[in-house]
Chain A
Amino acid sequence: MSAPGTSSEPGTQPGIDPRGPRFGAAITAVLLLVVVGLALSGSAVAATAVLAALVAIFAWGAFAGIRRHPWGRLYATLVAPRLAPPTHREDPAAPTFAQLVGFLITGAGLVLHLLGVPGAFVVAASMAFIAAFLNAVFDYCLGCQLYVLLVRAGAIRPRRA
């Protein structure tokens, strides 16, 4: 999807390697499938532990920024050096927002589960899996698309200059 010759001058907009968040989303997607599998085969404690870890990792990405995300560090140290340089870089705002959406969905699932709501666990993990899978495989940020709906609902308001 990159147009040769139109990449912005280096240094003007540093940005991040867009493959980093997709790599991270693939790890997250696999772990979310593990959560669903454990929950449905009766290993509730193990499933809760893995989901709690994922909630913490989402929070890390959302509040510390995608650049400090553990999967992002893994990508930068182990994977990126073995790949060609990225053809374009992207604004970290989108993947960071996606982490926040992931945090809210998995966090809600965990809290509802601990409150004893049946099915909350599997539903939340499944929703998060679909978002992570679309990000990893199709380069589509489902969480980011929620932004417009939140603006229209009045949940996100324009910044006052």
Chain B
Amino acid sequence: MDSPALLAIAALVIGATAIGLVIRARSGRVVVSDASQAADARLAVAGADVTLLQLSSPVCSACAVMRRVSEELVAGERGLARRELDVTEHPDLASAHNVLSTPTTLLVDAHGVVRGRIVGAAKPAEVRAAVQSVRESIGAAA
């Protein structure tokens, strides 16, 4: 094998590793938004101050991981609810909220305003912190 072939192989391995490291760093990252979007009351679970709205797909292994994490959290925290929708059945939601990958978990307040999002599966402590910061932003706005 001559050097262009070896160079290409090395570049592919290094490039793929770099992509993987970026994906790993971004996965589970929490973004708290400025609540400028219009409220959509259909998104929130009635009676909850924060709803974890998980957008999933049938071809998604991380969705099951995120489901376990948020189910555990919801069981232990008052005022927190969760629901899960399949993007196949709700392409409009995926477009309206610019969902590019699953799972994307939207943090929705009682009025149906999206206050933040978590892309990918996150650790329980990260989701708890995200819920906390959304509650603080709701409190600051009130």
Q: Do A and B bind each other?
A: yes
Which A residues have a C-beta under 8 Å from some C-beta of B? 1, 3, 6, 18, 33, 36-41, 88, 90-91, 93-94, 96-98, 122, 126, 129-130, 133-134, 137-138, 140-141, 144-145, 147-149, 151-152, 154, 156-159
| Complex interface residues of chain B between 54 and 83 (CB less than 8 A to chain A) | 57-61, 64-65, 68-69, 72
Once the chains bind, are B61 and A130 in contact (CB under 8 Å)? Answer: no
Once the chains bind, are B23 and A134 in contact (CB under 8 Å)? Answer: yes
CA distance A144 to B23 in the complex (A): 14
Selected from A37, A98, A140, A154, the residue in CB contact (under 8 A) with B8 is A37
Once the chains bind, are B20 and A133 in contact (CB under 8 Å)? Answer: yes
CA distance A60 to B89 in the complex (A): 28
The verdict on A134 contacting B100 (CB below 8 Å), with A41-B2, A126-B12 known, is no
Once the chains bind, are B65 and A1 in contact (CB under 8 Å)? Answer: yes
A-B CB contact pairs (8 Å), 13 listed: A1-B65, A33-B12, A98-B59, A130-B12, A137-B20, A141-B59, A145-B100, A151-B57, A152-B87, A152-B91, A152-B94, A154-B91, A157-B88
Q: Tell me, yes or no, whether B114 is within 8 Å of chain A by CB.
A: no
Residue in chain A with minimal CB distance to B123: A1
**Across the interface, which residues of B come within 8 angstroms of A129, CB to CB?**
12, 16
| Chain A residues touching B, majority SS | helix
Residue in chain A with minimal CB distance to B120: A140
Once the chains bind, are B15 and A130 in contact (CB under 8 Å)? Answer: yes
User: Chain B's nearest CB lies how many Å from the CB of A155?
Assistant: 10
Once the chains bind, are B68 and A122 in contact (CB under 8 Å)? Answer: no
Once the chains bind, are A122 and B59 in contact (CB under 8 Å)? Answer: no
CA distance A91 to B2 in the complex (A): 43
Once the chains bind, are B57 and A147 in contact (CB under 8 Å)? Answer: yes
Selected from A36, A97, A144, A152, the residue in CB contact (under 8 A) with B5 is A36
Once the chains bind, are A147 and B102 in contact (CB under 8 Å)? Answer: yes
**Across the interface, which residues of B come within 8 angstroms of A133, CB to CB?**
12-13, 16-17, 20
The verdict on A91 contacting B68 (CB below 8 Å), with A37-B1, A137-B20, A145-B100 known, is no
The verdict on A145 contacting B101 (CB below 8 Å), with A6-B68, A134-B20 known, is yes
User: Chain A's nearest CB lies how many Å from the CB of B118?
Assistant: 15
The verdict on A90 contacting B12 (CB below 8 Å), with A6-B72, A37-B5 known, is no
Once the chains bind, are A144 and B16 in contact (CB under 8 Å)? Answer: no
Once the chains bind, are A158 and B89 in contact (CB under 8 Å)? Answer: yes
**Across the interface, which residues of A come within 8 angstroms of B121, CB to CB?**
1
Q: Tell me, yes or no, whether B4 is within 8 Å of chain A by CB.
A: yes
Q: Which among A39, A129, A145 has the greatest number of chain B C-beta atoms within 10 A?
A: A145
CA distance A80 to B2 in the complex (A): 37
